[in-house]
C-alpha cells in the first residue's frame, strides 16, 4: 500500500499550499485560480476531435444524462442522479449499470471511440512533449495493452451531504444526496501506470492531471475549463485503471465512454470520465478541483481550506426507502452494505432501537478493500410505531462511524451513523 507515500504527498501539498507555492513558484492562491481559468480558455476543447457535445443545436436536447432514470431507481438532482437504496435490495454485489448513480458537472458528451485519442504531455515525460505535440494513443492501442479487472466502489465526496442538514441541523451547499451517490462495479481496463511508463514517465514526475472531454464547467459565471483533477504519481502508479468496461460491457456514455479513470478508494472526482488528455508534470499541479473544491472549508479549517481530500470515509446504508414503511407483526430481513476508503470492513453493528442496543448482523458477502460488505439482520418490530435503524461499521484501520461528523461548508465526507426512519404499521 502507498499510504505513507500518500501521507507524504498530502503533507507536502499542504505545505506548498500554505506557502502559496505551485506551478510557477511564489504564486498566490488567487493568482493560481486566475491562471487556471486563463489556461482552460486556451485549451480550446471544442476543437478536439472525437467530441460531439450532447447539447449541440443540431441534436435534439437530450438532457444532461442519457440513460433512462426511472423514479423507482433514481432521485434526480439537475445534472446528477442518485441510486435509490431500495433498488439495491434484490441485486447482488455489483450495482447494475442501469441503476448506477451519475454525477455530471455539465452533461454527458457522446465521444466517438474510433476518433478518440488519449494525449499525454508535460515535463514529467521523457523529452517533455507539449500539448501541441503530445504522445498519442488511440482506443485500439489501449485495447492491445494488458488488461486488468477488479471490483471497486465509486463514491461522490458529497455522498450523504443532506444529513449535515437533516440530522445535524447545519447548512451546506451542493447536491443534497442521501446515501445513493455510491456504487460498486466491475471495471476492466489498463493500468494507468502501464500507459504512463509507455509514454516515457520520468523519475521526476510528481503529478498527473487527467481532463475530461465533457463541456467546460461554469461556476458563478466563471468558465473553469474542463473537469480535471491532479493525482499524485504514487497513486497513479498504484491501482488506478484507464477503464473501458463496466460490469462486463463497454462503458455507457454517462459513465465515461469510451475511457475513464477508476481511482479506487478515493473520492469520485478523481475518477475522471471521458478522459481525453493527461498532463504529466515534474511540478505539483493545481486545478479548481483540488483548490476551490474538494477540500474542507469553514470554521476550524485553514483559510485556504484543508489539504485536498483523497480517500473516502466509512459508511453504511440500509437497502430500504428513506423513510421506510414496514408491516407490523412480521419478521423483516433488514439488509444493508458498508464500505470504506481505508480498506475492508472489519465489523458492522446494527441497532433497531435508535442506538440503545446493538446487534451483530450476518455477513452475506465480505468485500475486499476496494468494495463493500453486504450484511443482513432479521428484525421483528415489537409493534406499530416509529423507529430508527442505525448501522455502524469499522474498517481494517480501526476507523469507525462517529455519531456526528464535524461540518464543513461544502458538505464533504459525511461519515456519521445515519438514523434511518421507519414507520411500522
Ligand atoms: N469528466 C468528468 N469526470 C467526472 C465528473 C465530471 O463531471 N466530468 N464527475 C466526477 C464526480 S464528482 C464523480 S462522483 C464521478 C461519478 O461517476 P459516475 O457518474 O460514473 O457515477 O465521476 C467523476 N468524473
Ligand atoms: Mo463527486
Confidence grade of residue 137 (pLDDT, cut at 50, 70, 90):
very high
**Judgement on whether residues 200 and 277 belong to the same structural domain of the protein:** yes
The verdict on residue 304 lying in a domain is: no
**Judgement on whether residues 281 and 330 belong to the same structural domain of the protein:** no
**Judgement on whether residues 240 and 341 belong to the same structural domain of the protein:** no
Smallest CA separation from ligand 1 atom 12, residue:
269
**Judgement on whether residues 282 and 325 belong to the same structural domain of the protein:** no
Torsions phi, psi for 92 (to 5 deg)? -80, -150
pLDDT tens-digit series, residues 17-54: 434 333 322 233 343 333 333 333 333 333 333 433 33
Pairwise CA distance, residues 130 & 126, whole Å? 11
Pairwise CA distance, residues 282 & 128, whole Å? 10
CB distance 80 to ligand 1 below 6 Å = no
pLDDT tens-digit series, residues 73-131: 999 999 999 999 999 999 999 999 999 999 999 999 999 999 999 999 999 999 999 99
- Total domain count for the chain? 2
Smallest CA separation from ligand 1 atom 19, residue:
102
**Judgement on whether residues 221 and 268 belong to the same structural domain of the protein:** yes
The verdict on residue 301 lying in a domain is: no
Mean pLDDT of the chain: 89
Residue 151, domain extent = 3-291
Please tell me the distance between residue 259's alpha carbon and the centre of ligand 1 in angstroms.
12
Beta strands in 16-65 (DSSP E): 51-52
Please tell me the distance between residue 242's alpha carbon and the centre of ligand 2 in angstroms.
18
**Judgement on whether residues 10 and 90 belong to the same structural domain of the protein:** yes
Of 50-54, 333-337, 365-369, the poorest mean pLDDT is in 50-54
How far, in whole angstroms, is CA 3 from its chain's centroid?
Answer: 19
**Judgement on whether residues 176 and 255 belong to the same structural domain of the protein:** yes
CB distance 101 to ligand 1 below 6 Å = yes
Confidence grade of residue 10 (pLDDT, cut at 50, 70, 90):
low
Pairwise CA distance, residues 257 & 85, whole Å? 25
Please tell me the distance between residue 332's alpha carbon and the centre of ligand 1 in angstroms.
36
The verdict on residue 261 lying in a domain is: yes
**Judgement on whether residues 283 and 332 belong to the same structural domain of the protein:** no
Pairwise CA distance, residues 57 & 60, whole Å? 7
The verdict on residue 276 lying in a domain is: yes
**Judgement on whether residues 182 and 283 belong to the same structural domain of the protein:** yes
Q: What is the CATH number of the domain that holds 203?
A: 3.90.420.10
How far, in whole angstroms, is CA 407 from its chain's centroid?
Answer: 20
Instruction: Ligand 1, residue 183: give the atom nearest the CA.
Output: 21
pLDDT tens-digit series, residues 306-330: 999 999 999 999 999 999 999 999 9
Predicted local confidence at residue 12, as pLDDT? 54
Pairwise CA distance, residues 46 & 189, whole Å? 27
- What percent of the chain lies above the pLDDT cut of 90? 84
Q: Please choose from 227, 240, 246, 293 the residue to mutate so as to test ligand 1's pocket, defined by most ligand atoms within 8 A of CB.
A: 227
Cell numbers standing for residue 345 = 470492513
Of 42-46, 277-281, 292-296, the poorest mean pLDDT is in 42-46
Q: What is the CATH number of the domain that holds 389?
A: 2.60.40.650
The verdict on residue 308 lying in a domain is: no
The verdict on residue 46 lying in a domain is: yes
Please tell me the distance between residue 273's alpha carbon and the centre of ligand 1 in angstroms.
6
Please tell me the distance between residue 362's alpha carbon and the centre of ligand 1 in angstroms.
33
**Judgement on whether residues 265 and 358 belong to the same structural domain of the protein:** no
Instruction: Answer whether 35's CB lies under 8 Å from 222's CB.
Output: no
Final residue in a domain of this structure, among 259, 291, 323? 291
Smallest CA separation from ligand 1 atom 24, residue:
272
Pairwise CA distance, residues 152 & 277, whole Å? 23
What integer is the mean pLDDT of 189-213? Answer: 98
CB distance 266 to ligand 1 below 6 Å = no
* C-alpha torsion 249→254→258→260, nearest 10: -100
Closest CA to 121 of 24, 51, 43, 190: 43
**Judgement on whether residues 377 and 241 belong to the same structural domain of the protein:** no
The verdict on residue 47 lying in a domain is: yes
Secondary structure (DSSP) of 291-304: HTSSS--STTS-TT
pLDDT tens-digit series, residues 143-183: 999 999 999 999 999 999 999 999 999 998 999 999 999 99
Please tell me the distance between residue 252's alpha carbon and the centre of ligand 1 in angstroms.
13
Instruction: Ligand 1, residue 101: give the atom nearest the CA.
Output: 21
CB distance 154 to ligand 1 below 6 Å = yes
**Judgement on whether residues 210 and 342 belong to the same structural domain of the protein:** no
Confidence grade of residue 63 (pLDDT, cut at 50, 70, 90):
confident
Instruction: Ligand 1, residue 105: give the atom nearest the CA.
Output: 7
Final residue in a domain of this structure, among 259, 275, 291? 291
Amino acid at each position: 500500500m502507498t499510504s505513507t507515500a500518500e501521507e507524504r504527498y498530502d503533507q507536502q501539498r499542504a505545505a506548498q499550499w500554505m506557502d502559496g507555492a505551485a506551478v510557477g513558484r511564489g504564486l498566490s492562491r488567487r493568482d493560481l485560480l486566475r491562471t487556471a481559468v486563463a489556461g482552460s480558455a486556451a485549451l480550446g476543447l471544442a476543437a478536439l476531435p472525437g467530441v460531439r457535445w450532447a447539447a449541440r443545436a443540431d441534436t435534439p436536447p437530450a438532457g444532461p444524462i442519457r440513460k433512462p432514470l426511472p423514479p423507482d431507481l433514481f432521485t434526480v438532482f439537475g445534472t446528477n442522479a442518485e441510486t435509490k437504496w431500495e433498488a439495491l435490495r434484490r441485486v447482488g454485489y455489483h450495482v447494475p449499470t442501469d441503476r448506477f448513480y451519475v454525477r455530471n458537472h455539465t452533461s454527458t458528451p457522446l465521444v466517438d471511440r474510433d476518433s478518440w485519442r488519449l494525449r499525454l504531455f508535460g515535463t514529467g515525460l521523457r523529452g517533455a512533449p507539449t500539448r501541441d505535440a503530445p504522445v498519442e494513443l488511440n482506443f485500439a492501442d489501449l485495447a492491445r495493452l494488458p488488461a486488468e479487472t477488479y471490483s471497486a466502489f465509486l463514491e461522490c465526496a458529497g455522498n450523504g451531504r443532506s444529513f449535515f442538514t437533516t440530522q445535524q441541523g447545519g447548512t451546506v451547499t451542493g447536491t443534497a444526496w442521501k446515501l445513493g451517490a455510491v456504487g460498486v462495479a466491475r471495471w476492466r481496463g489498463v493500468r494507468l501506470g502501464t500507459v504512463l511508463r509507455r509514454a516515457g514517465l520520468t523519475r521526476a514526475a510528481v503529478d498527473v492531471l487527467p481532463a475530461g472531454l465533457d463541456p467546460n464547467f461554469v461556476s458563478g459565471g466563471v468558465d473553469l475549463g474542463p473537469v480535471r483533477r491532479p493525482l499524485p504519481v504514487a497513486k497513479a502508479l498504484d491501482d488506478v485503471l484507464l477503464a473501458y468496461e463496466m460490469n462486463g460491457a463497454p462503458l455507457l456514455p454517462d459513465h465515461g465512454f469510451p475511457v475513464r479513470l477508476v481511482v479506487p478508494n478515493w473520492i469520485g472526482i478523481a475518477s475522471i470520465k471521458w478522459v481525453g488528455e493527461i498532463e504529466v508534470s515534474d511540478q505539483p499541479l493545481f486545478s479548481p478541483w483540488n483548490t476551490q473544491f474538494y477540500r474542507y472549508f469553514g470554521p476550524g479549517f485553514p483559510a485556504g481550506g484543508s489539504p485536498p481530500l483523497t480517500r473516502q470515509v466509512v459508511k453504511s446504508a440500509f437497502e430500504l426507502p428513506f423513510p421506510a414503511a414496514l408491516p407490523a407483526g412480521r419478521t423483516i430481513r433488514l439488509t444493508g452494505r458498508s464500505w470504506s476508503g481505508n480498506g475492508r470492513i472489519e465489523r458492522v453493528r446494527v441497532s433497531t432501537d435508535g442506538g440503545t442496543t446493538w446487534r451483530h448482523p450476518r455477513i452475506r458477502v465480505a468485500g475486499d478493500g476496494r468494495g463493500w460488505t453486504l450484511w443482513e439482520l432479521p428484525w421483528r418490530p415489537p409493534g406499530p410505531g416509529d423507529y430508527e435503524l442505525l448501522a455502524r461499521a469499522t474498517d481494517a484501520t480501526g476507523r469507525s462511524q462517529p455519531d456526528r461528523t464535524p461540518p464543513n461548508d461544502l458538505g464533504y465526507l459525511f461519515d456519521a451513523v445515519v438514523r434511518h426512519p421507519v414507520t411500522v404499521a
